[in-house]
Structure 1
Amino acid sequence: MKVLIRTVAETGSTNADLLAEAAAGAAEGTWLRAERQTLGRGRAGRIWNSPPGNLYASTIVRLRAGEPPAPSLALVAGVALDDVASAYAGCMAISLKWPNDLMTGSAKIAGILLERAGEAVVIGMGVNLAEAPAGLDRPTASIHSLCGSAPDAHAFLLDLAAAFKRWLGRWRAEGLAPVRSQWLARAHPLGTAVSVGGREGLFEGLDQDGALLIRYADGSGETVRAGDVFLL
């Protein structure tokens, strides 16, 4: 897979742009970074605030027969993002939170958004390098606010593209197991109290397809394939 990185000063949404490019035949390995987004978005249609100095980037994956479930690409993106963020932000403890967040303690420092167009999946990643957006429904942090300096967004993306290519290759060649194992090793501990859809329970790991396993106080369990999860 050849990696092609393009940077623009401003766009509405890097995911929206690459969805259109994917429909027009753009190749896997295409990356688009924007220095500023005016219509950035997160999961469930939420607005993704885009202050300057942070990373806003998306890439295209072309699905092939026999691969693991497409939603598990969120885990691929998560472990790649964790590899790079942990290398750049040694001053902070970073963990993964299902399905698409990178956390430091209870504060979010990065998010992932998957959107599909036919056999193409566009994966958007936003990382708070320089500034933590305010006014959201959850705590946020940035590498700059906790470490005193912000990584260069382009340099960060070069490393991220390489890490994502490496983990995508393992996902294809070895299946989901090694990605799932790495994700669990870098997630909050088993038994962590979480809220899913307003119901509180304990994090029990991931099933073999990457879905979230929850155990409730009454002893019942649930396999969650989509939804918002909050750490308690």
Structure 2
Amino acid sequence: MPSTNGWLAERAAGLPDGQWVRAERQTAGRGRQGRAWAMAPGNLAASVLVRLRPSDPPSGQLGFVAGVALHRVAAAHVPPARLMLKWPNDLLLDGAKLAGILCERAGDRVIAGFGVNLAAAPEIPGRATIAFPPPPPDPDAFLDDLAQAFQEQLALWRREGFEPIRACWLKASHPPGMLLSLSGDPALHGRFDGLEADGALRLQTADGVRIVHAGDVALATTARETA
């Protein structure tokens, strides 16, 4: 199929909340901002449909729900200390991209797509990628665990709001004070200072704290020191 997000979007009207789809082969996978996302054999491309309820917290937080669930499943296959969630939607292994999440909203539904390098790392210009060490996780078993973890985190989010999700995400994310830069804006870089209550990124820069609501973040290993 072209993409799991697209497949669900086309059929969403007749599908229930919590419906998953997995592609054995994906020909038009996408990341954020329309970037192509290649799927090698043995990797995972899967998406889930979330039907929003009137009582749900803001839907923009679902990317963090998905990230926490994905991190928990990945941590069963590699030491958790080697994993790191990168704002807003990537999972890194040893500092390289292991997986990405793409959440797309249409009306009262959100589709959360997961691309995970279980067996092989695609080549992405200007970005380091990595796969799980061999033997790779079985895609079906990994998806079963991911679906369960996502459902648990979704239920927690609906029951208690964003704060417990935010706390879990922060424990698995950038260490406080890590240098980050905003791709496309080399002048905007600073030290990681946590998340706002709505999930926006806090950067401590030489000019004070900057709040970032959207963008791609890079680990700024060569950025100049900030106050």
TM-score, normalised with respect to structure 2: 0.92
Determine whether 1:192 maps to 2:178.
yes
Q: What does residue range 141-156 of structure 1 map to in structure 2 within 5 Å?
A: 141-143=130-132, 147-156=133-142
Contact 2:189 2:203 in 1 (8 A): no
Q: What does residue range 130-209 of structure 1 map to in structure 2 within 5 Å?
A: 130-143=119-132, 147-196=133-182, 197-198=185-186, 199-209=188-198
Relative to structure 1, the CA distance from residue 131 to residue 171 in structure 2 (aligned partners, 3 Å threshold; closer, same or farther) is: same
Tell me the CA shift for residue 148 of structure 1: 2.3
Tell me the CA shift for residue 206 of structure 1: 0.5
Q: CA RMSD in A?
A: 1.2
Aligned residue identity for 2:168: Q
Give the equivalent residue in structure 2 for 1:7.
Answer: none
- Name which of structure 1's ranges 164-173 and 87-96 shifts more when overlaid on structure 2: 87-96
Tell me the CA shift for residue 136 of structure 1: 2.9
Quote the Cα distance in structure 1 between the aligned partners of 2:81 and 2:163.
27
Contact 1:60 1:121 in 2 (8 A): yes
How far does the alpha carbon of each residue in 1:60-80 deviate from its partner, in whole angstroms, 9 at most, with x for none?
011111322111100000000
- Give the share of equivalent positions with the same residue, in percent: 51
Contact 2:119 2:134 in 1 (8 A): no
Quote the Cα distance in structure 2 between the aligned partners of 1:92 and 1:152.
22
Determine whether 1:227 maps to 2:215.
yes
Give 1:19's match in structure 2, choosing from 9, 16, 26: 9
SS in 1 for 2:15: coil
Give 1:128's match in structure 2, choosing from 117, 122, 127: 117
Q: What does residue range 79-98 of structure 1 map to in structure 2 within 5 Å?
A: 79-90=68-79, 93-98=82-87
SS in 1 for 2:38: coil
Give the equivalent residue in structure 1 for 2:35.
Answer: 46
Tell me the CA shift for residue 35 of structure 1: 1.1
- Name which of structure 1's ranges 38-47 and 84-93 shifts more when overlaid on structure 2: 84-93
Tell me the CA shift for residue 117 of structure 1: 1.2
Q: Which runs of 4+ in 1 moved over 6 A?
A: none
Contact 1:92 1:104 in 2 (8 A): no
Stretches of structure 2 lacking an aligned partner (at least 5 in a row):
221-227
SS in 2 for 1:99: coil
Aligned residue identity for 2:212: V
SS in 1 for 2:166: helix
Contact 1:42 1:48 in 2 (8 A): yes
Stretches of structure 1 lacking an aligned partner (at least 5 in a row):
1-10
Aligned residue identity for 1:89: V
Give 1:74's match in structure 2, choosing from 45, 48, 63: 63
Give the equivalent residue in structure 2 for 1:4.
Answer: none
